[in-house]
Amino acid sequence: MLSFILNREPVETDASPGTLLLDFIRYDAKLPGTKDACREGECGSCTVLIGKPDADGRPRYKACASCLLPIGDVAGCHVVTVEGVDREEFNAIQRLIIEENAAQCGYCTPGIILSLAGFALSAEAYSYAAAVDALDGNICRCTGYASIRRAAVKLAEALEKNIRDRDDRIPGLVEYGVLPEYFLSIADRIRELKSAPSGPEREGEVVVAGGTDLFVQKPEELLTSPLFFLSGRRDLDYVREEDGSLRVGSAVTLEDFRLHPLVNRHLPAMREDVLLHSSTILRNKATLSGGIVNASPIGDITIMFLALGAVLELEAAAGGNRQVALCEFYRGYKDLDLNPGEIIREMVIPLPKPGTFYNFEKVSNRKILDIAAVNSSILLETDGEKIARLLLSAGGVAPVPLLIGGLEKFSGKKISPETFAELASAAMAAVAPIDDVRGSAEYKRLLLGRLTEAHYQKFSTRREN
């Protein structure tokens, strides 16, 4: 039996944990405000808020795509659809959408309202940029974005002025008319609920991290499969600094990683780079470990972590851990050094030495919400004017995400356009791309050369500044 709160009502259901939340909301709970469109996390029309209790039992709300979210993953949570933010009169977000003419057919509007409610509840800052970023996963086909953006920006201005307590925002948001009053009692109500199942049995169970890859690939199969929800492993939801490394638990979402103060201090580029992975409603669920295990040869996170020299700590179902370097984790196309029942427990990222240059580059048709044709990261330790150590990774150019080997010969060479031209040639010679929908093998090899040169251009610009 799964329990959660859907808007104002408690839910107890025997439905399969793999049932998509979108289907449960629309077809079981008969709440039609949440729209069913792409079912692939691309459009945002199915956006809902998930309030997951933190260690103190207070719900932390995030906007998520309900089309890739199994109900087993919301056990113990507060699920909020557009019907759940209704007040007797229009709420402050709805009023702004009307005043700014930010809706026409209205199909995307519930998702936009929930993304903006998520912004009100959890944004780091009520700024212009954050308000617009909160909508990066919501596509509108008819209104045009100028009026939607105007509504978002006016909301940010109003919240900046009116919401004083940012640690406990719910009372302020109720008072200002963004949320209905029942939100005030949710913390007490979710404490009474059972939390997500997370037993030690794992062999034969499908590990669900964010579910954003699994539920695109095989939603029908997962309806009847036994599932193991990583979100139930609170002990794996951490980022900490230890022994010269960042240790990131495998249940950490991309967005929590991106905004974590330790990540911002030691790997500042991640704040922008992770935005290139996907939209807010996906980053709020997708994890780093899911990206690593799905083993896409073009996965962005893997390519970033390969150049950082990451190591994986694996946990066997029966207990007992072992470590494997990320660059040795991939034995062939989708063939991993991962035993049945084993999970990634944490990623260990050695902290870059002071003065180390790190950079990520990606070429894709669209800036976000698009998989790369080729991507690449570099870690460059320098010894004054010379290369001390160099790690270069490349995606889309081999059956696995690749750490390019044989580059030790560049240690001691002067950092110059000539050296990087030589490095680009070495990288191009080391890969074996194939022709596919993203481009010909020749094009991808050439792209890798250009991205290697782009790393140098970024390095030079940063050195000059």
Where does this chain bind ligand FES (CB under 6 A)? 36-39, 41-46, 65, 67, 103-109, 140-143
CB 442 → ligand FAD: shortest distance, Å? 23
CB 179 → ligand FAD: shortest distance, Å? 28
Q: Where are the alpha helices (DSSP H) in 308-440?
A: 417-430
Nearer to ligand FES, 140 or 378 (CB): 140
Distances (CA, A) of 346 to 298, 311, 413: 21, 9, 35
Tell me the torsion sign for CA atoms 337, 353, 378, 418. negative
Contact partner at residue 206 from ligand FAD, ligand FES, none, CB < 5 to 8 Å by partner kind: ligand FAD
Query: Any idea what the Cα angle at residue 342 is, between residues 337 and 346, rounded to 5°?
Result: 85
DSSP 148-187: HHHHHHHHHHHHHHH---SSS-HHHHHHHTSS-GGGGGHH
CB 308 → ligand FAD: shortest distance, Å? 15
Nearer to ligand FES, 103 or 156 (CB): 103
CB 428 → ligand FES: shortest distance, Å? 37
State the Cα–Cα distance between residues 41 and 67, nearest whole angstrom: 7
CB 370 → ligand FES: shortest distance, Å? 15
Contact partner at residue 287 from ligand FES, ligand FAD, none, CB < 5 to 8 Å by partner kind: ligand FAD
Residue 308, burial from CB neighbour count under 10 angstroms (0-12, 13-18, 19+): buried
State the Cα–Cα distance between residues 390 and 308, nearest whole angstrom: 10
State the Cα–Cα distance between residues 240 and 274, nearest whole angstrom: 19
Contact partner at residue 46 from ligand FAD, ligand FES, none, CB < 5 to 8 Å by partner kind: ligand FES
DSSP state of 320: -
Residue 243, burial from CB neighbour count under 10 angstroms (0-12, 13-18, 19+): exposed
Contact partner at residue 214 from ligand FAD, ligand FES, none, CB < 5 to 8 Å by partner kind: ligand FAD
CB 455 → ligand FES: shortest distance, Å? 33
Nearer to ligand FES, 44 or 180 (CB): 44
Nearer to ligand FAD, 138 or 289 (CB): 289
Contact partner at residue 291 from ligand FAD, ligand FES, none, CB < 5 to 8 Å by partner kind: ligand FAD
Residue 464, burial from CB neighbour count under 10 angstroms (0-12, 13-18, 19+): exposed
- The site for ligand FAD (CB under 6 A) is made up of 40-42, 206-214, 216, 230, 250, 277-278, 282, 286-287, 289-291, 293-294, 299-301, 343-344, 369-371
CB 95 → ligand FAD: shortest distance, Å? 31
DSSP 337-371: S--TT-EEEEEEEEPPPTT-EEEEEEE-SSSSSS-
Nearer to ligand FAD, 293 or 397 (CB): 293
Contact partner at residue 100 from ligand FES, ligand FAD, none, CB < 5 to 8 Å by partner kind: none
CB 134 → ligand FAD: shortest distance, Å? 17
Contact partner at residue 45 from ligand FAD, ligand FES, none, CB < 5 to 8 Å by partner kind: ligand FES
Let me know: does 359 contact 457? Beta carbons within 8 Å: no
Secondary structure class of 255 (helix, strand, coil): helix
